[in-house]
């Protein structure tokens, strides 16, 4: 198939439009590897420079993603989470057509760092129960959570999480559900921040990313209606798989 060499539209944009049509039509599906640069050069009779510019543009747009040592793939649809309300991970993932699962990575007693201590009304260095968990879509890791709880609610919650993990039914939401059950603390308010950040060694390993890859880092404190803190969480979402949306009324 030839492109129009004397057309006003540059070759790399014509090639990009052709690849986009192939993706939108289902000829190349999400998660599938696109043809190699050499194959594209031969099919469309263009230079490797043109192919590379086209792929670079489509990667930048989020339509394609590069996987080191494997090739370039059609990006899967991003998980779109509505920030105007509290949405369970399973709800957001299911809405995008994926199967949500979670895995418990570890539970330990640790010293509260400054942010967790302040959020939970503790002194820095006081003991907290730290729960590490990863949430997945179709088996691929999407978000890593580190949840901090005071010992009085954290210890019984930890036992419940270990039992749930053994039965294959652990979820991120199970933490607050168990705190509500054992302590009667009803979540009513959420204070949460988001910022772009590079993945640390630990986060990159858990989320199967390259070190320094883009993630969305979030700090979240869940409180009762009276303002009593329940948990303080640090979360890291894959920047290539997650998107956050907020809808607000516009006023001048």
Decide if 50 contacts 56 (C-beta within 8 A).
no
Q: Per-residue pLDDT tens for 190-239?
A: 999 999 999 999 999 999 988 899 999 999 999 999 999 999 999 999 98
Helices 11-24 and 37-44: crossing angle, nearest 10°? 110
Q: Given this model, what pLDDT does residue 233 score?
A: 96
Q: Per-residue pLDDT tens for 132-181?
A: 999 998 888 999 999 999 999 999 999 999 998 898 888 888 899 989 98
Is residue 44 within a helix (H) or strand (E), and if so which, with residue range? Answer: helix 37-44
CATH number of 11-74: 1.10.10.10
Q: Please state the CATH superfamily assignment of the domain spanning residues 79-245 in this structure.
A: Chorismate lyase-like (3.40.1410.10)
Q: Given this model, what pLDDT does residue 219 score?
A: 96
Arithmetic mean of pLDDT over the chain:
89
Q: Given this model, what pLDDT does residue 252 score?
A: 67
Express as a percent the part of the chain with pLDDT over 70.
99
The residue extents of the domains of the chain are: 11-74, 79-245
Report pTM: 0.74
Backbone φ and ψ of 61, nearest 5°: -80, -10
Q: 28-42, 66-80, 100-114, 177-191: which has the minimum mean pLDDT?
A: 66-80
> Looking at the predicted structure, is the pLDDT value of residue 69 above 90?
no
> Looking at the predicted structure, is the pLDDT value of residue 245 above 90?
no
The Cα 70–Cα 151 span in angstroms is 45
Q: Given this model, what pLDDT does residue 121 score?
A: 94
The Cα 182–Cα 157 span in angstroms is 8
Decide if 194 contacts 236 (C-beta within 8 A).
no
Express as a percent the part of the chain with pLDDT over 90.
54
Contacts of 156 (CB under 8 A, 6+ apart): 178, 182
| Region 107-115 average pLDDT | 93
> Looking at the predicted structure, is the pLDDT value of residue 248 above 80?
no
> Looking at the predicted structure, is the pLDDT value of residue 31 above 90?
no
pLDDT band at 1 (very low <50, low <70, confident <90, very high): low
Decide if 225 contacts 188 (C-beta within 8 A).
yes
What is 77-102 written as a DSSP string? PPEEEETTS---HHHHHHHTT--EEE
Contacts of 172 (CB under 8 A, 6+ apart): 88, 89, 102, 133, 135, 145
Q: Given this model, what pLDDT does residue 81 score?
A: 81
């Amino acid at each position: 198939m030839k492109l129009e060499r004397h057309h006003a539209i540059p070759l790399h944009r014509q090639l990009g439009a052709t690849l986009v049509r192939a993706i939108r039509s289902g000829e190349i599906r999400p998660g599938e590897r696109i043809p190699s640069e050499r194959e594209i050069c031969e099919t469309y009779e263009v230079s490797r420079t043109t192919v590379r510019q086209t792929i670079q543009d489509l990667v930048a747009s989020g339509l394609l993603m590069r996987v080191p040592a494997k090739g370039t793939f059609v990006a899967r649809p991003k998980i779109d989470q509505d920030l105007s309300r509290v949405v369970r991970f399973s709800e957001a993932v299911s809405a995008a057509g994926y199967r949500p699962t979670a895995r418990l990575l570890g539970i330990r007693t640790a010293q509260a760092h400054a942010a967790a201590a302040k959020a939970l009304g503790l002194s820095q260095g006081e003991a907290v129960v730290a729960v590490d968990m990863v949430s997945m879509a179709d088996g691929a890791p999407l978000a890593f959570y580190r949840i901090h709880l005071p010992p009085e609610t954290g210890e019984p919650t930890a036992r419940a999480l270990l039992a749930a993990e053994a039965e294959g039914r652990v979820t991120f939401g199970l933490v607050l559900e168990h705190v509500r059950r054992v302590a009667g603390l009803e979540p009513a308010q959420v204070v949460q921040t988001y910022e772009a950040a590079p993945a640390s060694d630990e986060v990159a390993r858990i989320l199967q990313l390259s070190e320094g890859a883009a993630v969305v880092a979030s700090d979240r404190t869940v409180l009762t209606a009276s303002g009593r803190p329940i948990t303080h969480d640090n979360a890291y979402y894959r920047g290539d798989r997650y998107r956050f949306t907020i809808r607000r009324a516009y006023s001048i």
